[in-house]
């Protein structure tokens, strides 16, 4: 290898080593911003005011709404449930069916119970289930 070629390769390798940390750092910061707050973390409870028109669909048994990455649905006069809306197969948004008493993914037809358990694949992992407490018109999801 000639001296000129060696210097050229050395400069190229050096520039990669100097820029790599900046590139990886930028990627890391961006990913963190896309992750929503987890209601299971202390201080991150999700509060739903049922008197708000934004949640009018929860006024009807069988109704559902999406808030952040959570699907909240009403299964009876006094029962509300909350599951992750993100299908564990490939991330599509699931939907509650009151008529069938289940949660269906429209992408590849995975079916989940209202507890989030897999009834039919291709998904193999349950949907995350959240605790729901009702106090007057306020639902607290944690």
Residues that bind ligand FES (CB under 6 A): 87, 89-92, 105, 107-108, 110, 122-123
- Starting at the edge strand found earlier in the chain, the sheet holding 70-74 runs 64-67, 70-74, 80-84, 129-130
**Minimum CB distance to ligand FES, residue 131 (Å):** 24
**How many residues belong to the chain?**
142
Give the nearer residue to ligand FES in terms of CB position, either 14 or 91.
91
**Quick one: 120 or 133, whose CB is closer to ligand FES?**
120
CB of 105 to ligand FES, least distance (A): 3
Please say which residue, 74 or 89, places its beta carbon nearer to ligand FES.
89
């Amino acid at each position: 290898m000639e001296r000129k070629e060696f210097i050229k390769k050395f400069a190229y390798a050096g520039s990669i080593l100097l820029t790599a940390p900046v590139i990886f750092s930028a990627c890391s910061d961006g990913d963190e911003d896309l992750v929503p707050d987890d209601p299971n973390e202390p201080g991150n409870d999700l509060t739903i005011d049922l008197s708000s028109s934004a949640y009018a669909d929860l006024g009807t048994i069988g109704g559902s709404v999406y808030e952040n990455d959570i699907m909240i649905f009403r299964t009876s006069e006094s029962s509300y449930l909350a599951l992750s809306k993100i299908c564990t197969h490939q991330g599509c948004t699931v939907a509650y069916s009151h008529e069938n008493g289940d949660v269906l993914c429209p992408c590849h037809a995975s079916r989940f119970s209202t507890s989030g358990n897999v009834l039919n694949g291709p998904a193999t992992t349950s949907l995350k289930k959240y605790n729901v407490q009702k106090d007057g018109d306020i639902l607290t999801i944690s």
